[in-house]
Every structure is written in C-alpha cells, then in structure tokens.
C-alpha cells in the first residue's frame, strides 16, 4: 500500500463516555459525576450519527465511532501500514464551562489514552488534551505529562474564549516550546461562542463549511499580537482545516502588512514567511479543486514543501477505500507528507 510506513497525524479514538474516565479521576470528581448523573461530553462538531462522523465501514457496532480498540488497530493502523498514528481524542474536557471540571476531564482523558491505547500498541502516540478555558491549568497538565515521550503534541480546539494570540495564552506556548511539543489546533471551539464572525448559523452545514474561517483569525491573532515573534520555536499544527484556503489568505495578509506594518513593528517578517516557519497542516480533509490535475498547482502556492502532514482523520468520513492520499500530489511531496514532515514537526517521534 502507498501509505506503508506513513505517520498518520490525526486519528480519533472515541471516548465512550464519562464512565470510562471515572477510574482516572479523583474521588471528588468520581462522586461529582456520579451524583450529578452527568454524561454526554461529546463536542457538537461531530454528532455521532452524522455520516461525516464515521465512515460506514468504520462504524463500531453498538458503540460510538472510534471506541473499539481492536477495530481501530486493524482499520487505521494495520490496513494503511501506519508507522505511527497520533491520537486526538475529541471530548468535552477542553470545553467544559467549569475550569476545574474541564481540567479533571482532560487529565482523565490523557491517563485513559495512555493506559488503554498507548500502552497497548507501540505505534500509537497522543496529544495532551488541555483545558483551553483555563491556560494556567493547561500548563499544569502539560507539566504533568511532558516527560512521557508518547505524548507528542498539545491539543486545543481551534477557537476558545479569545483569539489565541492574546497574552492570556502565552504560558501554554512557553510550555510547548520548553517541552518540544507542537500545538495542534483542531477544528472546533468551546461551542458557546458564535462559530462564525458573523453570528450563529442555523444549519450544521453552515457551521461545518465555515469552520476553516477561525483558523485565519487565529493566525492573524498569533502573528499580529506577536506570539509568533516571541515564541520562535513554536509549531502549530492545523488539524482538519481543509488546507487550500491558505494561499489566498497569505496573499492578503502579506499585501496588507506591507502597508500597515508600523502598527505591528514586532512583526519583522512577512506573514507568509512566519506561517511557513510555524504552521503545519494535516491533509484530511482536503478541499481540493474539482480536477485533480490542478491540485499540485494549488499546493505550490503555499510556497513550501514542509507544511503538509499526512492524516487519515480516522474514523471521520473524508475519503473512501484506501484513497487517503488525494490524487494529484507529486511523489516527492507525498513522501515528505507521510514521513519527513511529521518527523520534523514532532521531534518526539524520532526519539
């Protein structure tokens, strides 16, 4: 298979429910969840029964997508010949309104992933999920797990309470640099602020199609607030952003920066250069042009071969059969996406 030996930078083991996480919680939180009867911390971005949430042949009988270990192992790892796969569990810890409850769910999710997934297959790696609503607690969680080299990234929802360039979030970036952990921004939000800059959409369709917009906002914020100047070694991985929105954004950001640069004098390189240095993007889903022959041209506009990372986005339904690699990408870039770029992005994979 073409993907043999590839590093899959985005797969999603499913958290079956809060009950699964209870053994990884303190006595207080165990009783709090049981007494209050709280469950259902699945983010609204992937409603379990929506077709996009799971490919038909990857559904788990009687369970939520991605919750069957052996099935994931067979379908996501064995089948594609995967060398490493990075688990990005999407569950409510980073989003809970209560900071401390969010932190408890995150810690439990991380410990559960380590014990029940990472420990059972040496090909698996994971992101540290952190409470995005409480950067100080996010840093504590990073500190707690940083010595475990199987955690290769810090995962945040693409949008939180404020734009990510604000200094409120800088302690997370400081910890990320300190421990050589890229920050993965995964499509999604705290699901209590309007998901578009234009207010609340009425349809899931609108919400889903518009989801890449927030990546533009976050980039602008991270660049102009000076976060990327301050944290030169910080790497950001945009997970499920769709990729091809980026070239037009870079042109616009560069053009405007040239004229209004004195407003942000700490930005000393053109935005496109900063983005090429700091940002990586996973390749599923990919918003490709209708004619595969045009895809290479579109990707060339990124101006760098180092930015794209292979991913299946398992079990989300982004492609059929074995077509994890979109048609129209040249062999050299395919190799970089599958191996070289992930290894360069996730320093810990090489250790």
Partner 1 sequence: MTRHVVAAVRDLPPGGRKLFSVRGRPIAVFNLEGQFYGLLNRCPHQGGSLCEGLLTGLVLADTPGEYRMERAGEIIRCPWHGWEFDIRTGQSWCEPDKIAVRQFPVQATSGQALVQGPYVAETIAVSVEEHYIVVEI
Q: Locate 197 and state its tokens.
A: 């800059």
The nearer residue to partner 1, 227 or 338, going by C-beta atoms, is 227
Please, what is the minimum distance in Å from the beta carbon of residue 289 to partner 1? 30
Q: Which is nearer to partner 1, 100 or 229 (CB)?
A: 229
Positions that interact with partner 1 (CB under 8 A)? 225-227, 229-230, 257-262, 265-266, 270
DSSP class per residue in 77-99: IITTT-SEEEE----STTT-SSH
CA 88 – CA 126 distance, rounded (Å): 6
Place of tokens 């840093």: 139
Distance of closest approach, residue 258 Cβ to partner 1, in angstroms: 5
Residue 319, H or E segment: none
Complex with partner 1: residue 93 or 163, whichever CB lies closer:
163
The beta-strand segments (E) located in the chain are 7-11, 84-87, 124-129, 151-157, 183-186, 236-239, 279-282, 308-309
Q: Which residue's CB is nearer to partner 1, number 230 or number 277?
A: 230
Residue 225 C-beta: closest distance to partner 1, Å:
7
Which CB sits closer to partner 1, 152 or 223?
223
Q: How far is the CB of 255 from partner 1 (least distance, A)?
A: 8
Residue that has been written with the tokens 């970089």 in this structure = 336
Instruction: Give the nearest distance from C-beta 158 to partner 1 in angstroms.
Output: 22
Give least dist CB 249 to partner 1, A: 18
Q: Which is nearer to partner 1, 270 or 298 (CB)?
A: 270
What is the C-alpha to C-alpha distance for residues 156 and 158, in angstroms, rounded to an integer? Answer: 6
* Bridge pairing between strands 308-309 and 279-282: parallel
* Torsion angle in degrees (nearest 10) through CA of 232, 233, 239, 245: 30
């Amino acid at each position: 298979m073409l993907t043999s030996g590839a590093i899959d930078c985005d797969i999603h083991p499913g958290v079956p429910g809060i009950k699964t996480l209870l053994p990884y919680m303190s006595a207080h939180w165990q009783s709090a969840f049981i007494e209050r009867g709280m469950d259902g911390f699945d983010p609204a971005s992937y409603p379990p029964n929506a077709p996009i949430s799971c490919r038909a042949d990857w559904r788990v009988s009687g369970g939520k997508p991605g919750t069957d270990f052996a099935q994931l192992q067979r379908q996501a790892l064995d089948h594609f010949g995967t060398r490493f796969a990075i688990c990005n569990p999407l569950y409510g810890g980073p989003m809970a309104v209560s900071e401390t409850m969010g932190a408890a769910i995150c810690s439990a999710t991380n410990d559960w992933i380590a014990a029940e997934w990472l420990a059972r297959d040496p090909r698996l790696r994971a992101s540290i999920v952190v409470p995005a609503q409480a950067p100080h607690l996010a840093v504590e969680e990073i500190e707690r797990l940083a010595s475990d080299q199987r955690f290769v990234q810090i995962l945040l929802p693409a949008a939180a309470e404020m734009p990510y360039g604000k200094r409120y979030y800088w302690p997370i970036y400081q910890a990320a640099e300190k421990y050589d952990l890229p920050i993965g921004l995964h499509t999604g939000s705290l699901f209590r602020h309007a998901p578009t800059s234009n207010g609340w959409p009425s349809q899931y369709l609108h919400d889903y199609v518009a989801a890449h917009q927030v990546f533009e906002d976050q980039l602008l914020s991270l660049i102009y607030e000076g976060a990327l100047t301050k944290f030169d070694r910080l790497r950001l991985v945009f997970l499920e952003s769709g990729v091809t929105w980026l070239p037009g954004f870079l042109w616009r950001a560069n053009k405007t920066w040239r004229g209004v640069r004195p407003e942000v004098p700490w930005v000393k390189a053109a935005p496109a250069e900063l983005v090429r240095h700091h940002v990586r993007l996973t390749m599923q889903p990919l918003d490709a042009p209708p004619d595969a022959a045009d895809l290479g041209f579109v990707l060339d506009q990124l101006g760098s071969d180092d930015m794209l990372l292979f991913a299946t986005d398992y079990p989300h339904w982004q492609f059929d059969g074995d077509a994890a690699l979109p048609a129209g990408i040249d062999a050299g870039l395919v190799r970089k996406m599958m191996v070289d770029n992930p290894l360069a992005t996730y320093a810990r994979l090489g250790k």
